[in-house]
Structure 1
Amino acid sequence: MELQHALSGITCPVVTPFDDAGAIDDDAFVDVLEYLLEGGIDGLFPCGTTGEFASLTREERRHVHDLAAEHAGGEVPVLAGAAATSVAEAVTYTEDAADVGADAAVVTPPYFHTANDPAGNQQFLEQVADRSPLPLVLYNIPVCTGGRMEPETLAAVATHDNIVGLKDSSGDLEYFLSVMRQTPDDFCMLQGYDALLVPALRMGADGGLNALSNVAPEAYGDLYETFDERCGEALQDAIAPLFDACASYGFAPATKAALEHRGVIPTDALRPPLVEVPEDNRPAIASAVDGLLESGP
């Protein structure tokens, strides 16, 4: 598939279901994949933030990517999470993902260091891209990496033959538009902050990579396919309460609680340090899910 074209739509950062003992629940993961594909999702992103990649071993990441690639069957692209703190480790994750049939890899700047110079970020991303067997989608999430990728850095690396786009989860629309202005037209710009999806599409974003598309893939897919101001604003309003829950409790906890309410996964179990949404707050999430579903097609 032609990757840039394939990424134009809504890609889902897929949750990683666990059983009550903390092991990956393969059957539940396959159920989520089938539910997303039937709901019209345009791409799958396993082992992202919502997929709790930081709590998975290398072998578990490879396994999750293998399941996703197998069930995508080439119908939609699979973007494999390859975030790491060293070039060598990130490249290893891209190699594992290529071995199981993923279409691209997603990398962040190296986290933990938190005071990365823009030149250091550029060197890191270019060195991973030079050695990756898969094209790269970059991932700007400064709340987790300690700083953003500067627009000038992205403008520089966007000309690399093996770097094809950006997921921006900064929540800063001005930043998103600045990067869009400074990168080539074929550099795929994906809005990762659900609350800014509609404004970003209005301003020319290629698509979204949104956690809450786990919960209502039909609504997100319909929004992209038939985008207009009125329907977009209605969905954005419906997203807001659930997005607020994600901001309060974390994207994996809130999204899993919502999926459990929908009956898609049997339990919202997480791995430490994440914890489940408190029981007293679950009715609000259930209400927000119901409101989001009512806004859909």
Structure 2
Amino acid sequence: MQEPDQNDLHRTTTSHPVLLCPLVTPFTDETVDTDALGQLVESLAATGIDGFVPCGTSGEVASLTPEERRRVIETTVENSSHGQTVIAGAAATAVRSAVERIESAAAAGADAALLPSPYYHAPNSPAGLKQFFAAVADDAALPIYLYDIPSCTGQQIPTEVTEALSSHPNIVGLKDSSGDYEHFSAVLRATPDDFDVYQGFDTQFVQSVQIGATGGICGLTNATPEIFLDVATAIVEGNYERAARLQQTAITPIFDVGLEEGFAPVLKTAAVASGRLSSHHVRPPLIETSTEGVALIEDVLST
């Protein structure tokens, strides 16, 4: 087990909300377009964003082969030219598989791993969920961030499970994509200050930072990192009215399309509209954004 490094991403030591981008995975026909991915990472890194999360939900991780996962992580690391943190997705349903995926991510140069609950056979007890995460963390080659995304796993990580796991030396934080703000607030209250808690719902970024979140792992940073950086600056300056207005007008309308049509397609559409990608191709079972969705996204980004 690797002990987590001390870093400046904890909510007690950072002077600004931390922004991480859950990267989309560009495709060319049937292959991963590593050139496009590298260019995307370079473009986003230059804006001053704090880090990247490849091979997550937005990156269509369930549609990637093990070799493709490795190449995506390597490409992200190689093009993170401004010292950004890389937290690699390591979704798996078996403890050994998760440990092996984390080993692969470590070999590819990642700094930490993002681990959701097992899917398909949901835990029959919170105790089983705790045992799964702890067993992976005991043997993991990287520090672990828990990933709470019940829309994909079928079950929310109970607050008491996160609280118990926050004392594990190799579990250093959590990304909450539940959309449940009350639950998010409860997790913040239940965990120590040096346990990173990231908001995964872009539309709850401002209010989450206001109550003590480390920051956000926000999908729309694939397309408009500057907006989020503006929001973060407004928060630091205490201008919450401006921060909330930017979130409401420039983030929420596109995020709502993602809720309806799927985030990977919508984020790719937004990245194409903002000039950061040239293709919005997604793999089955996903389909591309509807004509109406594309028009709305382009309209928001043009204002």
> Distance in 2 between the 1:190 and 1:82 partners?
17
How far is 1:234 from its partner? 1.5
CA contact (8 A) 1:4 1:164 kept: no
Measure how far apart 1:116 and its partner are: 3.7
What is the match of residue 87 of structure 2?
79
Once the two structures are superposed, residues 24-75 of structure 1 have per-residue CA deviations (whole angstroms, 9 ceiling, x without a partner) of 1111101110111112210100001001101001111011101111112470
Aligned counterparts of 2:157 and 2:295: Cα–Cα separation in 1 = 38
Q: With structure 2 as the length reference, what TM-score do the two structures score?
A: 0.92
Residues in 2 aligned to 1:280 and 1:245: alpha-carbon distance in whole angstroms: 10
Q: How far apart are 1:279 and its partner, in Å?
A: 2.7
The one of 106, 113, 117 aligned to 2:114: 106
Conserved in 2, the CA contact under 8 Å of 1:22 and 1:270? no
CA apart distance, 1:221: 2.0
Return the TM-score normalized by structure 1: 0.94
For residues 87-114 of structure 1, the C-alpha deviation after alignment (integer angstroms, 9 at most, x for no partner) is 1111111000111111000000101113
1:229 is the counterpart of 2:240? yes
Identical columns (%):
43
- Counterpart for residue 177 of structure 1: 185
- 1:27 pairs with one of 14, 35, 49: 35
The answer to whether 1:203 aligns with 2:211 is yes
Determine if contact 1:22/1:269 at 8 Å carries over to the other structure.
no
Given that 1:41 and 1:217 are in contact with CA atoms closer than 8 Å, whether structure 2 keeps it comes out as: yes
Aligned length: 290
CA distance in structure 2 between the partners assigned to 1:272 and 1:204 by the alignment? 38
Secondary structure at the counterpart of residue 114 of structure 2: strand
Q: 1:73 to 1:127 in 2, by over 3 A?
A: farther
Runs of 4+ in 1 over 4 A off after TM superposition: 1-4
User: Contact 1:108–1:138 at 8 Å: present in 2 too?
Assistant: yes
Amino acid at match of 2:241: R
Q: Which whole-Å CA distance do the structure 1 matches of 2:241 and 2:289 have between them?
A: 32
CA distance in 1, matches of 2:186, 2:163: 10
Q: Which of 12, 21, 28 is the matching residue for 1:12?
A: 21
How big is the alpha-carbon RMSD for the aligned residues of Structure 1 and Structure 2?
1.5
Q: Distance in 2 between matches of 1:3 and 1:235?
A: 33
Cα distance, 1:197–1:59 mapped onto 2, change above 3 Å: same
Match of 1:119 among 105, 127, 137: 127
User: 1:217 maps to what in 2?
Assistant: 225
Distance 1:123 1:255 in 2: 34
What does the per-residue CA deviation read over 1:203-230, in whole Å, with 9 as the maximum and x for residues that have no partner? 1111000101111111212322441312
Answering whether residue 57 of structure 2 is matched by residue 49 of structure 1, we say yes
Q: 2:286 is matched with which residue?
A: 274
Determine if contact 2:99/2:140 at 8 Å carries over to the other structure.
yes
Alignment of 1:58-97 (within 5 A): 58-73=66-81, 75-97=83-105
Gaps of 5+ in 1: 292-297
